[in-house]
Structure 1
Amino acid sequence: MRLASTYRGQGKLESAEQLGLEVLTTCQASLGTNHPVTLTCLENLASTYQNQGRLSDAGDFRKRGLEISKIVHGETHVETLMLMSNLSATIRYQGRLEEAKDLGGKALRRMREAGLDHHMGVPMARLAVTYHMLQLGPEAEALATRALRLMEEIYGEGDLYTIYAMVNLSIICQSQNKLEAAKDLAETVYARRERIFGKDHPVTAAALENLRQISYAGGSEGISRRLIRGLTG
């Protein structure tokens, strides 16, 4: 499983898919369908399909994984609710925004009811992107702000998920013409990436380019295309 994830992280998606299918078949044969390891294999393969742009396949695998998790862990377990959030992100990529909003909101409500507040940062940030794409700017900003604060508290300021959430909040602010706030956030992202990765790393260069776009362009044109994929699972 780790090698398949490594291939996916390196962009070797065909190799990741082939190995992921082999591992899934082995797990199903040796452990059974309703097993936590099999569930992990399904989710990893769904992530590979999503990275390939095969959104229908990704959605199908994530639906299967969610149903298995309900059996293995229960409907209110953190693993089940995180998988529900993952599925909502895939549905959003399919353009089914209202469904994504409803499912992502359901995952958050159940997390809150189950006292899983410490796990809500990433699902909250994902839902904020869905709100943004539905042109619900104030709601998106409020949710993205809460997500960022929670992730800074839980994961730390230098965590990649925290930085991804900050990028998205910057873009959401820019879409509402709150350019000073957007610029301040983008400057912080650039500084953190430079400190963590170095000046010449591609992600640092991307942060600098984002800062330049905010500084010189402004407005909302093309902003949705720049919302990053780091929180989509």
Structure 2
Amino acid sequence: MPFEWSTIGAAYFYEGRWKDAEELDMRVMGIRKRVLGEEHPDTLTSMGNLASTYRNQGRWKELDMEVMETKKRDQGRWKEAEELDLRVTETRESVIGEERPDTLTSIANLASTYRNQGQWKEAEELFVRVIETRKRVLGREHPDTISAMNNLDEQTCTKSYSMSQRRLRKRC
């Protein structure tokens, strides 16, 4: 049953039905924790799915990070996503190793969560770590390596946009 729920949860996720996806992600994660244990790869995948759902509930059309930070309900979601991302990343690093694709994806997810909270330094350090590891393990032209480079570019653009918005506000 958890597999089917996970599949339905993924469909909800891709349709943008965040609350429905969250409900199923939580249910699947709970069952997998109980049946398979916290360190099982399927449980970790469920935790990562839930973290992604939380993260996507916080993506707004506005690009201004200061506006994002004022939305308290969503800030709570960022914290939850960060906690899950940290847990999944740490567990994957200790169980399957730092250079495994799943671990690198978890690190990239954590970096995205940091970026979306305006924690630029932490995000950049993790994005660079993912890029360097993927270059070494997968090669420079691998789609996952290119995706990691794109994430760092997005980080730089978002940070620059936010800083220019702050400067503009100070002038006004």
Q: TM-score, normalised by structure 1?
A: 0.55
**Corresponding position: 1:192 with 2:133:** yes
2:153 maps to which residue?
212
Query: Which has the greater radius of gyration?
Result: 1
Residue in structure 1 matching 2:49, options 110, 126, 148: 126
CA distance in 2, matches of 1:82, 1:188: 32
Residue segments in structure 2 that go unaligned for 5+ positions in a row: 59-76, 163-172
Is the alpha carbon distance of 1:94 and 1:122 closer, same or farther for their aligned partners in structure 2, counting shifts above 3 Å? same
1:165 maps to which residue?
106
Q: TM-score, normalised by structure 2?
A: 0.73
Is the alpha carbon distance of 1:107 and 1:220 closer, same or farther for their aligned partners in structure 2, counting shifts above 3 Å? farther
Are the equivalent residues in 2 in contact too, given 1:176–1:219 (CA < 8 A)? Answer: no
CA distance in 2, matches of 1:99, 1:220: 32
Partner amino acid for 1:92? F
Are the equivalent residues in 2 in contact too, given 1:179–1:218 (CA < 8 A)? Answer: yes
CA distance in 2, matches of 1:220, 1:128: 25
Larger RCO: 1 or 2 (CA < 8 Å, sep 6+): 2
Matched residue count:
142
CA distance in 2, matches of 1:187, 1:205: 12
SS at structure 2 position matched to 1:114? helix
Residue in structure 2 matching 1:105, options 23, 26, 32: 26
1:59 maps to which residue?
none
Is the alpha carbon distance of 1:220 and 1:113 closer, same or farther for their aligned partners in structure 2, counting shifts above 3 Å? farther
Tell me by how many angstroms 1:168 deviates.
Answer: 1.4
Cα deviation per residue 1:139-166 (whole Å; 9 max; x = unaligned)?
Answer: 1111111111122222221111111121
Residue in structure 2 matching 1:147, options 88, 94, 105: 88
SS at structure 2 position matched to 1:158? coil
CA distance in 2, matches of 1:126, 1:113: 17
Of all paired residues, the percent bearing the same amino acid is 26
Cα deviation per residue 1:111-167 (whole Å; 9 max; x = unaligned)?
Answer: 222252222111101100101122211111111111111222222211111111211
Are the equivalent residues in 2 in contact too, given 1:175–1:219 (CA < 8 A)? Answer: no
Give the superposed CA RMSD. 2.1
Tell me by how many angstroms 1:209 deviates.
Answer: 2.8
Is the alpha carbon distance of 1:105 and 1:191 closer, same or farther for their aligned partners in structure 2, counting shifts above 3 Å? same
Is the alpha carbon distance of 1:100 and 1:201 closer, same or farther for their aligned partners in structure 2, counting shifts above 3 Å? closer
Runs of 4+ aligned residues of structure 1 deviating over 4 Å after TM superposition are none
CA distance in 2, matches of 1:209, 1:104: 27
Are the equivalent residues in 2 in contact too, given 1:174–1:219 (CA < 8 A)? Answer: no
1:91 maps to which residue?
12
Partner amino acid for 2:103? T
CA distance in 1, matches of 2:99, 2:141: 18
CA distance in 2, matches of 1:174, 1:183: 8
CA distance in 2, matches of 1:219, 1:105: 35
Residue segments in structure 1 that go unaligned for 5+ positions in a row: 1-79, 222-233
Is the alpha carbon distance of 1:197 and 1:153 closer, same or farther for their aligned partners in structure 2, counting shifts above 3 Å? same
